[in-house]
Every structure is written in C-alpha cells, then in structure tokens.
Amino acid sequence: MKFLDQAKIYVRSGDGGDGVTAFRREKYIEFGGPDGGNGGRGGDIIFEAVPNLNTLIDFRYTQHFRARKGGNGAGSDRTGAAAQPVIIKVPIGTQIMDDDRETLLADLDEAGKRVTLCRGGDGGFGNANFKTSTNRAPRRSDKGWPGEERWVWLRLKLIADVGLVGMPNAGKSTFLSVVSAARPKIADYPFTTLHPQLGVVRLSMTEEFVVADIPGLIEGAHEGTGLGDRFLGHVERCAVLLHLIDGAAGNVVDAWRTIRHELTEYGGGLAEKPEIIALNKNDAMTPQEASARRRALEKASGAPVMLISAASRQGVPELLRTIQDRVTLIRREEAENAAS
C-alpha cells in the first residue's frame, strides 16, 4: 500500500428540505386551515478516526464528499426526512487543516473520535408554522437553509511512542527490522527510506511500544534539502526521540549537531523532547575508536551515549529496556497531568 500523509479534499453538507404550502381538504370540514409540513435537515459531514487505517491514499482517488439534501415537507403536517450524514473515516492521528494549511480545525488523535466539520442546513418552515390569530390561512413557506462547504487539508501524524531520527545510512531501517516485525527497505545507499515506517516492539506480554522511523535528515532539511523535513510531523506525538548515529562514519559529533539543528529549526517542540542517543555500528569500529567517539559525543551532548550494533544485535536489548522504561515513565506522567 502506498503511503500518503497529506491530502486536499472538498466537503459539502446537505441543504435543508423545503417547507410546503398546503391546506386541509376533507369532506364536512369547513375552513380546514394550513397543514404544510417543515423540510428535513440536510446531512452532516462527519470525520471519524478508525484504527484500521494508516494512510490517506484513499483520498487521492476520492476528493469530493457531498451530503444529501433533506426531504421536503408535505401536507397533513408531514415533516420531510432528515438526510443521513456522510461519515469520512480517517487514520488515527489525522489533523484537519483549513485551506490556508495553518489553521487547525480538528485533531483526531484517538480511536473513535468524531468531529462534525460541516453541519447540514435546517429545513424550511411549512405554512402551518405561520398560522396566527390574524392570519388563519398563510400561504408562506420557506426554502431550506443551505449547507456548508469548504476545502480542507488532511495531514496524518502517526501515533508512536518513539521517534527514530538520524542521518541517512545511520542504520535506522536495520534497527527497526531487528527489533520489530517491520520489513523496511535496507540498502547501502542514502535515502532508502522514502516514507515513514511503523514497528511494534514487544519486550514482554505487558510491555510494548511503537517506533516510527522517518526518512533520514541532512543539513538544510528544514529548507527542503534532500527529502526535507515534511516527515518530522510524524514524530511530534512521540514520547521519546531515539537518535541513531553512524559510529563508523567518524564525524559523530557533527552528525549529532546537524540533526539537533534541524529539529530546532523545524520547531513543534521536537528539540525539547527527551532524547536517547545510540552510537550504531559498533561492530565496524575498533574498541579504541568506539570509546573515543563515545566520549566525544557524551561531551558534546551532555548526555549518556549507548553503544549498539543493530546488525549483530549487540547492546540492542539494553537499549530497548532503557527506551521502555523512559516511555512508561513519560506516559504515566502525561496521564497524571491529564487527570489533574
């Protein structure tokens, strides 16, 4: 399935049904009076987050959504039928943006969450509604109110606990394939990952977390260099960032600073997120090189650095345990803050 995380669509709710002008005409009943019914309500446009979707690819082929008009009123005080709403199902984590791509209209970040984006028009009044003591036979009936319409942007931000960041060829895809059942493309050239990948890591029957791997960043990504920073939105909701650095490349401090600079320039609170640094490809370095590069990175970052080799799984179990403990702690704090 092709991954698509942005889509522009047109939505329009249904118009209200028209009221009707009608009069009672029954044998032996003189001056029956008005009995025109009201129109029915037009259909709403509703967005719903569902758990079995992970891409917006369906909206590439269906871009216009229109709800039906409400039924017209009828004689004998019969109200027109209300139109059924149009329910648009989107992946969890979808944001609905206005046409300017800046104004956030809704954030569907939980399964089953719904939002009514366009409300259907109200039905018009029939002439029975206008009967008064001085106007016993009104011939006025109203048209239904029009529905709402707008163009909106859908932007998907994947829901994950850990965001995997780093430069191209840092070994992120290899790491993801080792710790989860995900099977990303792995090759010895840059930018083998062209769209985000998700993997579920299970440490025990009760402990698991979701990892989001995004395409590698290079210097100037916030200005559009390489694949740019458009995929960084997928790690905005993560509790922890796992910064994977290619230890065999040699310039580990420069690589760390480059990614940190891009995170800062992107914004969205990514630079303030907790970060776990892992020096990858330990099996491709001598013990002296690994020790020296680890010390240099710890000095530059001011944080502990873990040595791992995703290919040989050296140090991976210890790293996963550290990640799980950090994610559990942060999610618990978030739940407590939300409850208070």
CA atoms within 13 A on the CB side of 87: 8
**Residue 103 assigned as binding residue:** no
**Residue 195 assigned as binding residue:** yes
Instruction: Provide long-range contacts, Cβ within 8 A and 24+ apart, for 22-26.
Output: 22/74, 22/75, 22/76, 22/126, 22/127, 23/75, 23/137, 24/75, 24/76
**Residue 62 assigned as binding residue:** no
**Residue 1 assigned as binding residue:** no
**Residue 280 assigned as binding residue:** yes
Output phi, psi for 133, to 5 deg.
Answer: -70, -20
**Residue 323 assigned as binding residue:** no
**Residue 54 assigned as binding residue:** no
**Residue 194 assigned as binding residue:** yes
**Residue 243 assigned as binding residue:** no
**Residue 310 assigned as binding residue:** yes
**Residue 168 assigned as binding residue:** yes
**Residue 170 assigned as binding residue:** yes
**Residue 214 assigned as binding residue:** yes
**Residue 216 assigned as binding residue:** yes
Terminal-residue alpha carbon distance, the chain: 41
**Residue 254 assigned as binding residue:** no
**Residue 113 assigned as binding residue:** no
**Residue 172 assigned as binding residue:** yes
**Residue 22 assigned as binding residue:** no
**Residue 311 assigned as binding residue:** yes
**What are the residues whose beta carbons fall under 8 Å from the beta carbon of 241, sequence distance 6 or more?**
162, 163, 165, 235, 263, 270, 273, 274, 275, 276
Residue positions counted in the chain: 340
**Residue 128 assigned as binding residue:** no
**Residue 282 assigned as binding residue:** yes
**Residue 338 assigned as binding residue:** no
Residue list, annotated binding site for GTP: 166-173, 191-195, 213-216, 280-283, 309-311
Residue list, annotated binding site: 166-173, 191-195, 213-216, 280-283, 309-311
Residue list, annotated binding site for Mg(2+): 173, 193
